[in-house]
Amino acid sequence: MAHLLRSRVPTWPPPPRGPSGHTHQEHDTGQQCYDLLVIGGGSGGLACAKEGTRWGLGGTCVNVGCIPKKLMHQAALLGGSLHDASHFGWEVAQPIRHDWRKMAEAVQNYVKSLNWGHRVQLQDRKVKYFNFKASFVNKHTVCGVSKGGKETLLSAEHIVIATGGRPRYPTHIEGALEYGITSDDIFWLKESPGRTLVVGASYVALECAGFLTGLGLDATVMMRSVPLRAFDQQMASLVTNHMASHGTRFLRGCIPLKVERLSDGQLQVTWVDLASDRKDTGTFDTVLWAVGRVPETGSLNLEKAGVWNSPDTQKILVDAQEATSVPHIYAIGDVAEGRPELTPTAIMAGRLLARRLCGQSSDLMDYDNVPTTVFTPLEYGCVGLSEEEAVARHGEDSVEVYHAYYKPLEFTVPERDASQCYIKVVCLREPPRLVLGLHFLGPNAGEVTQGFALGIK
Amino acid sequence: MSPGPVRGATPNRRLGSVRGVSVLSPPGRRARPSAPETSRLSSAAREELRRRLLDLIEGHRVVIFSKSYCPHSARVKELFSSLGVECNILELDQVDNGASVQEVLSEITHQNTVPNIFVNKVHVGGCDRTFQAHQSGLLQKLLQEDPAYDYDLIVIGGGSGGLACAQEAAILGRKVMVLDFVAPSPQGTSWGLGGTCVNVGCVPKKLMHQAALLGQALTDSRRFGWEFSQQVKHNWGTLTEAVQTHVGSLNWGCRLSLREKAVAYVNAHGEFVEHHKVKATNGKGQKTCYTAAKFVIATGERPRYLGIQGAKEYCITSDDLFSLPYCPGATLVVGASYVALECAGFLAGLGLEVTVMVRSVLLRGFDQEMAERLGSSLERLGVRFLRKFVPVAVLQLQKGSPGKLKVVARSTEGPETVEGVYNTVLLAIGRDSCTKGIGLEKIGVKINEKNGKIPVNDMEQTNVPYVYAVGDVLEGKPQLTPVAMQAGKLLARRLFGGCLEKCDYVNVPTVVFTPLEYGCCGLSEERAAQEYQRENLEVYHTLFWPLEWTVACRDNNACYAKIICNKFDNERVVGFHILGPNAGEITQGFAAAMKCGLTKRLLDDTVGIHPTCAEVFTTLEITKSSGLDIMQKGC
């Protein structure tokens, strides 16, 4: 998520079973040579690098996106608890208000402490870290440019591209870049974003709009078509119904046309309703773009190494081994085509790749049955196939869906609306009715889903 | 919370030969080729088989013991089929213990040939006798539902297990009655339909637990930027009123649900007076007798009182706490059962001064490492523990709501005594089965004299074949609402639905709802060591720091996760333990995974959901045997 591409270059420790045995050495050319070169310091890259240096001690990788997001989600949930508390006998005098500054400072301090912890971990594991902007020179060589402009050539037997993605700015929209922010910025705002327009329908969009609403801010989500594309659509609409009933506003079927700054500093957004072709405007304090992510492949000079990427998405094409069109160059995480954009998936893929490269295991990453949770105010956890995908793969007649609405006991006393608390299990109809997908919408969905993910595997 | 499509709604009443095996074989045996078999039945096995046969005969309208190749058997089957009557047929040549069945059957009927036919529990005889009965009209008479009994089923006790059983039987078209009567506690507390769970157990307990958690949330929320006045008080009256309102709505829901399913509900105490007959005594002392073909005892348990001075006069139990009309104030909780610790936990969480008096260990029967960690978490919350003391007298110092009580306690290790003054003394030293005073001795239902519990076979059947039992009165079964519900439902399906599925009492997950929740499934470390030998086990564990606790600056080494694996069975997980927030929600899925044969490898291969507490189980790396440090750094 940082602005510079960073390279982290690990060296193998003296064998147990390093593939080539040679460690970091200077060649005649002055070029540094490594066993494994990882370009990109996100979750997947770090996991790969750390695993490469010491078997059995793969640590938790922390993504600065998930962590602050979940903490702000928690802040919003606590707002709900404050409301519930009075029903359970707690006498809290009004007014209750939320101080963004205080929350943001606490969250940012925690994230900073993690960043520091990460560097220490890498040093512990003999991973050499360079703050370089990297680009390929040829199949085995990468040129790193430091902040000061100094160039270093690095070569390695295996190269892993894990440069991830960055939030996309819709640069064709006037004012998007000047006045808009992305999820890279929202968690680091010192001041409350105030009245916010979130553009997009990804989980990032809904999560951000959800916690902003929960913190008492006025939040509007503008989306072109359906929310949470690729997720189960029945669940997705329950998620947005819940948000709408808790105060998030939705502008469906709309696309923004321009963003202007008014004299009082507010942002005026003009959009068009695609169905009626009618234009409308609204004023906001903050415009947050959550319209997807673009892979960081542009400056890598992939063509010099012969690595192919998709002309549409710019993402790198990979096989089940995570190998690119060049067998010793791999790509993991958000930068790879067709992979779920999820932190733990990238971590696991990175770890498994490193183990394969060291010859410690031949296990491939299982990209099906990856459990995930959308931390909207009512959490949505799922693993396996969506109903749509199950029907597409097995046919309508072969799929049976068991489902139930339920009311959490804790919702009864504060008279919370439970009309979106819902569980769905998508199975094959033939006994033993193999479970293809499990979907859970309700409090603590993240915690609930984890165990069931094991059962589905 | 019922899944959409109802399964098993059309019962398959035919007992095929394959099914016959599972009815009649002792557990664990599988069908062998049916070689001529000489009977080597032990007397216990004979008795068990006899019980099962009687059960089969009692439980079905027409039972034909047959052999698949026998032409006489075939004629009888044709006869019933032409009458449009469904039969339960057991082919003795196709079950592995057919010879034993035939032997026991001849003891019951003095007939050692097949076919051997029963209609509505009456032994009709063989092929010729059946055709004679058909000609004389006797068969048609026998085929009519037995008119002798008022009900097909009477359930004594309207708790989770009893109600589940009654409703399922009614859904299957049977005439069912529920007798439920709550004897007031010594403090005079009484309640409505639904049993312990709904009224004085899980439901109000979890709500009060939630109230305590919200208290913690109030503290946390300030760290997350929420601002409100420093003065926060808790109002006990508001809480109990809210809790009791919800409980009341559940009582009403139970009654409504019985009415919808046409189950007769009588608010009266049931007592057997003779075989197949109970006397129901209502609150006004009016007595009515009812008869039924089958009975289910689901009377549950009530808190135990100490036989010491002042116990019944001044102490309360969990029966009273959830509707206590005043705030209990400084409370002494006597006992270390999960009830004791849960009550201590939420009272402390509501800001009360709480002391727990423990005779020996915490949470007997649970993993003791977890129990001790849970104890420490309560201590950090301000709960004081008085270990190795038992109360000997409770004296009233001052009347009031609450008053003041002096408790004298004696050390279990010496002559030392201590005294303490409390507003409330809550006894949570265990529970006694409600199996006395219901006339079990009149019909010969055996109970364990030591603990009052009812021994049953794996079909929940007592030694009296038409009497069954479910729920907390059972001997040696987990005392949990969902277990009782499942057992009750399956029992009804077996009795009336032609279904054979038995309740599985293994790997039942459970959660202790202390402020830091403790969830577990499978074996404790102690039990695992007994079953598998310690050297065959690998224990993976770690402390963890929930993300939400970091910003809240809560303890970074309180939450703990542990799995116990069998090294020689693929590192299969035989015990799962977690102490942490939302342990209840976390444990459920892992319990499902354990049913599917969870291994360490599968845990490692599963992608974590980030960031949650549950994901800690996908990255467990440190074994207990390695002795490596599991402390979390930070804050």
Query: With helix as H, strand as E and coil as C, how does B125-177 read?
Result: ECHHHHHHHHHHCHHHHHHCCCCCCCEEEEEECCCHHHHHHHHHHHHCCCCEE
Measure CB to CB from residue B228 to each of A67, A96, A103 and give the nearest one: A96
> Contacts of residue B227 in chain A, CB cutoff 8 Å?
96-99, 102
Query: What residue ranges of chain A have pLDDT lower than 70?
Result: 1-31, 41-64, 115, 117-126
Residue with tokens 């006798």: B129
Contact indicator for A18, A35 with CB cutoff of 8 Å: yes
Question: What is the Cα–Cα distance from B587 to B570, expressed in whole angstroms?
Answer: 22
The residues near A401 (Cβ < 8 Å, ≥ 6 apart) are: A387, A424, A425, A426, A427, B4
Rounded distance between C-alpha atoms, residue A166 and residue B269, angstroms: 70
Q: Tell me which long-range contacts A297-303 makes (C-beta under 8 A, separation of at least 24).
A: A297/A161, A297/A163, A297/A335, A299/A5, A299/A133, A299/A135, A300/A5, A300/A39, A300/A134, A300/A135, A300/A136, A300/A161, A300/A163, A301/A135, A301/A136, A301/A137, A302/A136
Helix (H) or strand (E) holding A261: strand A254-261
pTM of the model as a whole: 0.82
Task: Provide the angle, in degrees to the nearest 10, between the axes of the packed helices B583-595 and A445-456.
Answer: 10
Task: Say what percent of chain B tops pLDDT 90.
Answer: 69
Residues of chain A positioned with their CB less than 8 A from the CB of B586? 447-448, 450-451
Rg over alpha carbons for chain A, rounded to the nearest Å, is: 24
Higher pLDDT, B418 or A114: B418
pLDDT number for residue A276: 96
Distance CA B532, CA B138 (A): 59
- Does pLDDT of B15 surpass 50? no
Q: Is B541 a catalytic residue?
A: no
In this structure, how many other beta carbons lie within 10 angstroms of the beta carbon of residue B281?
Answer: 16
Region B515-544: mean pLDDT is: 96
- pLDDT digits 0-9 by tens, B27-75: 333 333 333 444 567 888 888 888 888 888 877 888 999 999 999 999 9
Backbone phi, psi, residue A233, to 5°: -75, -30
- Relative to beta strand A254-261, strand A267-273 is antiparallel
A57-64, long-range: CB < 8 A, 24+ apart? A57/A125, A57/B621, A58/A351, A58/B619, A58/B621, A59/A121, A60/B619, A61/A118, A61/A343, A61/A347, A62/A114, A62/A117, A62/A118, A63/A1, A63/A343, A63/B610, A64/A1, A64/A111, A64/A114, A64/A115, A64/A187
B112 to each of B17, B65, B117, how far by Cα in Å? 19, 11, 12
Q: How far apart are CA B262 and CA A245, in angstroms?
A: 38
Determine whether the annotation assigns residue A304 to a binding site.
no
CB pairs under 8 A between A and B: 231
Q: Nearest 5 degrees, angle CA A147-CA A150-CA A152?
A: 115
Q: Residue A182 in 3-state DSSP? A: strand
Tokens (6 digits) for B389: 């003391």
Per-position DSSP letters for B80-126, written without gaps between them? HHHTT---EEEETTSSTTHHHHHHHHHHHHS--SS-EEEETTEEEES
DSSP one-letter code for B181: -
Q: What is the mean pLDDT of residues B349-361?
A: 97
Instruction: Name the region of A80 (left: φ>0; alpha: ψ -120 to 50; beta: rest).
Output: alpha
Using the beta-carbon criterion (under 8 Å), do A82 and B226 form an inter-chain contact? yes
Task: Tell me whether residue A292 is annotated as binding.
Answer: yes
Window B:89-148, CB contacts with A under 8 Å: none
Contacts of A109 (CB under 8 A, 6+ apart): none
Which residue of chain B is at minimal alpha-carbon distance from A445? Answer: B585
Closest-CA residue to A44 (of A164, A220, A183, A203): A164
At A318, list the tokens.
Answer: 């990979």
How much is the pLDDT for A335?
86
Name the residue among B225, B608, B615 with its Cβ closest to that of A100: B225
Amino acid identity for residue A108 in this structure: Q
Task: Choose among A324, A330, A383: nearest CA to A355.
Answer: A330
pLDDT of residue A390: 95
Is B292 touching A (CB cutoff 8 A)? no
Contact status, residue B441 vs residue B461, Cβ threshold 8 Å: no
A61, A62, A78, A332: best to mutate for the B interface, most B CBs within 10 A: A78
Q: Is the pLDDT of residue B13 over 60?
A: no
Least confident of A5-19, B198-212, B603-617: A5-19
Residue B125 has pLDDT above 50, yes or no: yes
Contacts of B613 in chain A (CB under 8 A): 447
Pick the residue of A190, A423, A450 with the most B CBs within 10 A to test the interface with B by mutation: A450
Is the Cβ pair A454, B598 closer than 8 Å? yes
Q: What is the mean pLDDT of chain B?
A: 89
How far apart are the C-alpha atoms of A365 and A339, rounded to whole Å? Answer: 11
Within 8 A by CB and 6+ apart from B335, the residues are B356, B357, B358, B359, B427, B428, B429, B430
Residue spans of alpha helices (H) in A321-408: 343-357, 387-394
Q: Are B603 and B563 in contact (CB under 8 A)?
A: yes
Cα end-to-end span (Å), chain B: 41
Q: How many residues are present in chain A?
A: 457
Residue B326 reports pLDDT greater than 90: yes
A79 φ/ψ sector (left φ>0, alpha ψ -120 to 50, else beta):
alpha
pLDDT of residue A213: 98
Q: Which amino acid makes up residue A310?
A: S
Q: What is the DSSP letter of B388?
A: T
Query: DSSP strand E in B477-569: where?
Result: 510-512, 518-522, 537-544, 559-566
Contact A204, A359 (CB under 8 A): no
With residues binned 3-state (H G I as helix, E B as strand, rest as coil), the percentages for chain A, rounded to 5, are: 30, 30, 40
Q: Which residues pair with B539 in a beta bridge?
A: B564
Residue in the structure block whose two tokens are 């690095």: A154
Q: Indicate the residue type of B309.
A: Q
Residue with tokens 């929930």: B546
Residue of A58, A66, A78 lying closest to B217 (CB–CB): A78
- Tell me which chain B residues have a C-beta less than 8 angstroms from the C-beta of A102: 225, 227
Tell whether the torsion through CA atoms of A76, A78, A82 and A83 is positive or negative.
positive
How near does any CA of chain B get to the CA of A179, in Å?
26
CA torsion sign for B592, B595, B600, B606 is negative
Query: Which structure tokens are listed for B388?
Result: 């190795």
Sign of CA dihedral A65, A68, A71, A72: negative
The mean-pLDDT minimum among A421-435, B101-115, B194-208, B303-317 falls in B101-115
Contact assessment for residue B283 and residue B142, using Cβ atoms and an 8 Å cutoff: no
Distance CA A306, CA A161 (A): 13
Q: What mean pLDDT do residues B282-293 have?
A: 94
Q: Which of A91, A93, A450 sits opposite B235 (nearest CB)?
A: A91
Q: Three-state secondary structure along B200-261?
A: HCHHHHHHHHHHHHHHHHHHHHHHCCEECCCCEEECHHHHHHHHHHHHHHHHHHHHHHHHHC
Alpha-helical (H) ranges within A343-402 are 343-357, 387-394
Nearest-neighbour CA in chain A from B243: distance (Å):
7
Residue B84 Ramachandran class (φ > 0 left, ψ -120 to 50 alpha, else beta)? left
Q: What is the distance between the alpha carbons of residues A291 and B416, in angstroms, rounded to a whole number?
A: 72
Strands (E), B238-367: 264-266, 268-274, 277-282, 287-297, 301-303, 316-317, 331-334, 354-358
